[in-house]
Amino acid sequence: MIPFVTLLVALTAAPALDPSAVEAHARMLEAKLIAPCCWSQQVSVHQSPAADEIRRDLRRRLARGETEQQILADYEVQFGERIFAEPPAKGFTRFLYVLPPVVLVAGAGLVVVLVRRFTGRQAEEPRAPADAPVDAKGYGEQLDEELRNLD
């Protein structure tokens, strides 16, 4: 039974020891973290001793077989949520994820309403005010008669 458990552990740990998989996973994690020295750039692009240390630490921990969740949770405990390039969608930061689609849909709806309103006004024929007297003669006939009287 013990050799089976050892084989199972070896098989599950083997992918974590693959250098190309560790490197790819480390680069993905580097993009998720902000360099704690200045809090302005992701670790993946920042050039500083602090960013270099995080890069080495990520590779070392991934090679040991730690999961992404464990590593990110440890950095969150150490530096706070500020370490993440994208804030987690909880609490007030949830609005950062919800607000843009809502504004986009509302803006599109407003554009549709305004286009319909302005194109609808142009399609209507001009009408006389409701309180204006309606003449039995048509406007064309009345205009023709007035033009004849001018001569």
pLDDT tens-digit map of 75-120: 999 999 899 988 777 777 777 778 889 999 999 999 999 998 888 7
The region of weakest confidence among 17-26, 65-74, 101-110 is: 17-26
Rounded to the nearest angstrom, the gap between the alpha carbon of residue 87 and the centroid of all alpha carbons in its chain is 12
Burial class of residue 37 (count of CB atoms within 10 Å of its CB; 0-12, 13-18, 19+) = middle
Q: So what's the pLDDT on residue 1?
A: 43
Most confident of 17-21, 35-39, 128-132, 138-142: 35-39
pLDDT at residue 7 tops 50? no
Amino acid identity, position 138 = G
| Domain residue extents for the chain | 15-86, 89-124
- Fold of the domain built from segment(s) 15-86: Helicase, Ruva Protein; domain 3 (1.10.8)
Higher pLDDT, 17 or 65: 65
pLDDT digits (tens, 9 = 90+) for 24-60: 999 999 999 999 999 889 999 999 999 999 999 999 9
Q: So what's the pLDDT on residue 16?
A: 47
pLDDT at residue 12 tops 90? no
Identify whether the C-beta of residue 26 lies closer than 8 Å to the C-beta of residue 62. yes
**Sign of torsion over alpha carbons 5, 8, 13, 17:** positive
Structure tokens at 37: 């020295």
